[in-house]
Amino acid sequence: MAIYAIADLHLDTSNTKPMDVFGQEWRDHADKIARHWHERIQDHDIVVIPGDISWAMKLEEAAPDLAWIGRLPGRKVLIRGNHDFWWGGIQRVRRALPSRAYALQNDCLVLDNVCFAGTRGWTLPHHPSYNQEQDEPILKREMVRLELSLKAAVKQEKPILCLMHYPPVDANHPHSPFHELLVAYGVRACLYGHLHGPAHRFAFNGEIDGVQYQLVSSDYLQFIPWRVPDEWIEP
């Protein structure tokens, strides 16, 4: 068993939101992802997808994109991204998922002796666009959701792999309220997405206070699912 990660699939099987408007590297990006996925991933492997899964606005509209994911090899673990407007009540989302696909929200999941936890996250307080009045309530809510997930995870007594959509740290600010929670609950590693194109320069990849961080947005990975190092998830 191996664990792979790729965020920001930005699927649109209805072809109403072509991604190449964001750069030629995005042309036919879903085909690239599928090709690399089939080359690397076997059915017993696990693939984590930290958000921005589908451009759909409603759950029913996301069904073809979720089915596309379901046809790919492996077991999938999903969290919500900022563009996943189709993701509403968690029970409805879980019922809509294909077999062997799992959605995390305020809880955790154990697969093959690894515990998966996480939440969407939010813009960090040091970000230039952060507005205290508007963003602080959302940030606090996401911190509560992350802690609920981590509290459930730590009870499993397994290596914890955390998924977040927004970066919990960045290259210029290696600490944040999210980071403090990850350290407090003994998280081994945190995989995140959200950053695209020129924003890749703000990514932090490496270890801080015992937590390994890695950006796994699809364009950052050149649309190739990234294998999580075995040592990050060993007991």
Dig out the tokens for 131 from the structure.
Answer: 């507005």
Span 61-98, pLDDT tens digits: 999 999 999 999 999 999 999 999 999 999 999 999 99
pTM: 0.95
Average pLDDT over residues 218-235: 96
List the CATH code of the domain at 3-232: 3.60.21.10
Domain locations along the chain: 3-232
Q: How many CB atoms lie within 10 A of CB 136?
A: 13
Instruction: Report the SS3 class of residue 78.
Output: strand
Q: What is the total residue count of the chain?
A: 235
Span 135-180, pLDDT tens digits: 999 999 999 999 999 999 999 999 999 999 999 999 988 889 999 9
**Mean pLDDT score of the chain:** 95
pLDDT grade for 20, boundaries at 50, 70 and 90: low
| Residue 15: predicted pLDDT | 65
Q: Of 228, 118, 217, 109, whose CA–CA distance to 163 is shortest?
A: 118
CB 10 within 8 A of CB 29: yes
